[in-house]
Every structure is written in C-alpha cells, then in structure tokens.
Structure 1
Amino acid sequence: RGHGDWECLDVLSNLESCGGCPLLSSTLTGEHHPTGVDCTAIEGVLDVSCLLGRCAVSRCGKGF
C-alpha cells in the first residue's frame, strides 16, 4: 500500500484498474480524469481478465 490515499497497482494486470490508474486528479484544478477500466463492470461479461492493460473477455452472457 502506498502513502496516504494512494495505492500501488499493476495496471497491466489489475482487473479493476486495467490500463491505468482508476482516477488521476490535478491538484491545481481539482479535475478528475479516469484512465483505467474496471473490467468487472463490462455489461454482459461472465469471464474477463486484464492482459497487458486491456480487458480480455473470455465468456459473455446469453444475448451478448
């Protein structure tokens, strides 16, 4: 675990922060720019992994 509110993640394989940090913020403007993807939140997906920073869907639900 990092210092304060920050946590170290492997964004190349982390299922909930795939491809980037879940939230980047500018300390000057207070703006938030999400860059990572939560692979578990993809609609209709039954089996998914994060490979090299990209969600890799292995199995979809019926109708998807």
Structure 2
Amino acid sequence: MPPSDHQARRRWAVMQLVRMVAVAAALFGVYALAERGLARPDLGAPLLLLGAAGFFAGPALLAKRWRSR
C-alpha cells in the first residue's frame, strides 16, 4: 500500500531535517578545525566526517528502512 500524502510529507521533512543536522555537524567540524575557531582537531575531524557521511548516507538509510515496512 503506498503511503498517504501526510506520511510522504512527514518522511520528506524528516529527511531534510537529517540533512540539516548533518550539514550543521560538518560546519561545526570545520569551525572546530580552524585556527581562529576552536582549534580542536580531535573534535573537528570526527564531526566533519560524521556530518559528511550523515548528509549522504542518512537519508538513504531512512528511505531503505521505510521501504522495508
């Protein structure tokens, strides 16, 4: 059974929220790596990597989960 319009809109909004959180994490990671920012490579590098991975993989994993239902 195809999802209703309300479910489709909610899923789209959740995917966009996941992307926005991933972008925010990546930007904070860049700021943490910067000399004039926090200058904390131990914090910045993982945030940058998690943000980049979350931007691309997060929505795909959600879509795969929703398709399996």
TM-score when scaled to structure 2?
0.26
Name the structure, 1 or 2, with higher relative contact order (CA <8 Å, separation 6+): 2
Higher Rg of the two aligned structures: 2
Structure with the larger strand share: 1
TM-score by length of structure 1 reads 0.27
